[in-house]
Structure 1
Amino acid sequence: MYDEDVTEVEHALQAAALAQADDAPDHLVAAALLHDVGHLVSDDNVSLEEDLTDDFHHERIGAQFLTRWFGPEVTAPVALHVPAKRFLCAVEASYLDGLSASSLRSLHVQGGPMSATEVEAFERRPYHREAVIVRRWDDRAKVGGLAVPSLDDYRTILGRLVL
């Protein structure tokens, strides 16, 4: 299980479906779909509990993996979706209150809310706004039993974006 109620794949498909429901451009639909691929391509022996107690930097692993096929419009939001959570916790008081239990645990492992200096640096990063958008879909994509399009339904979008 990825989180309380969904698997990794269900979570990814829900995030992509949320992006499509928001009429996001293809590159953000792809980033939403692939944002946690680092969990899948990193050490298969890492359990959910370990991932919540040690930071394995799945966002960096995933972004690096994806650079073989996609440009920064996809890979940068993937790389920045964890810092985006830390950013949102620092700049929106209500954001922290809405995090799931596992997101709260991982936030602690990932460094907690950003400092003012980190916020300024994050806001200077290319694609930081897109990463925040992906982060919000990520947070909402944890609904058990939700019917969403299949992975196959995203082939055309991904195909258009491949380098």
Structure 2
Amino acid sequence: MSEIVDQISTVFAEKGHRHYGENVSELEHALQTAAFARQFGESDAVVLACLLHDYGHLLHNLGETVANDGIDAQHEELGAELLQENFPPEIVEPVRLHVAAKRYLCGKDPKYLEGLSPSSQLSLQLQGGPMTADELREFESHPHFEAAVRVRRYDDMGKVPGMKTPGLDAYRELIAEFAVL
């Protein structure tokens, strides 16, 4: 279990400085998203899913301007595929579904779409745009859809330049607690 903790820490240390159109680095974004989830009393599983939701961005080598280049890196699938080797579905599925949750919220509430950052609006178009009525119903039937929506809401919040948060080391025990292999 310590191997996955060390692997995650190493990936964030080596690539967490990257930016993907927001005014915070990937590491800052992950830490803020997890901090907001913890602040609002979420379960440890949701907090960890928040920390790891964009892990896939750190795993591809498509560059920091991937969305501007018109490419959907499918970071949610990339991250979930790697994480599923070491974590249970309560962590992996909200990571896998957080992009679908953005599409879901845009399909349910046009005001949500208006509130997205420019970077999120751009990536939304590459990811399929707002869900249709049929897609909304199908998404709502997924057993992890509510957790994915909560992760998405904290994802939207975690874009505050200069925000102070606990560092990645504050989550080592939580990562180890949920690691299953």
Q: TM-score, normalised by structure 1?
A: 0.95
Which amino acid is the alignment partner of residue 129 of structure 1? Answer: E
In the alignment, structure 1 residue 5 sits paired with structure 2 residue 55: no
Paired position in structure 1 for 2:65: 49
Structure 1 residue ranges, 4+ long, deviating more than 6 angstroms after superposition? none
Paired position in structure 1 for 2:39: 21
Which amino acid is the alignment partner of residue 57 of structure 2? Answer: H
Q: 1:69-108 maps to which residues of 2 (within 5 A)?
A: 69-108=86-125
Q: Distance in 1 between matches of 2:156 and 2:55?
A: 16
Q: Distance in 2 between matches of 1:54 and 1:130?
A: 27
Q: 1:116 to 1:122 in 2, by over 3 A?
A: same
Q: Please state whether the residue corresponding to 2:66 is helix, strand or coil.
A: helix
Identity percentage of aligned residues: 47
**C-alpha RMSD of the superposition:** 1.0
How far apart are 1:56 and its partner, in Å?
1.6
| Structure 1 residues not aligned, in runs of 5+ | none
Q: Distance in 2 between matches of 1:156 and 1:147?
A: 20
* Contact 1:2–1:11, Cα closer than 8 Å, also in 2: no
How far apart are 1:140 and its partner, in Å?
0.8
* Contact 1:54–1:109, Cα closer than 8 Å, also in 2: yes
In the alignment, structure 1 residue 140 sits paired with structure 2 residue 154: no
Which amino acid is the alignment partner of residue 82 of structure 1? Answer: V
In the alignment, structure 1 residue 112 sits paired with structure 2 residue 155: no
How far apart are 1:7 and its partner, in Å?
0.5
* Contact 2:107–2:131, Cα closer than 8 Å, also in 1: yes
Q: Distance in 1 between matches of 2:23 and 2:110?
A: 26
| Structure 2 residues not aligned, in runs of 5+ | 1-18
Deviations 1:89-138, CA, capped at 9 Å, x for gaps: 00012101110000000001101000111111101111000000000000
Which amino acid is the alignment partner of residue 36 of structure 2? Answer: L
Which amino acid is the alignment partner of residue 173 of structure 2? Answer: T
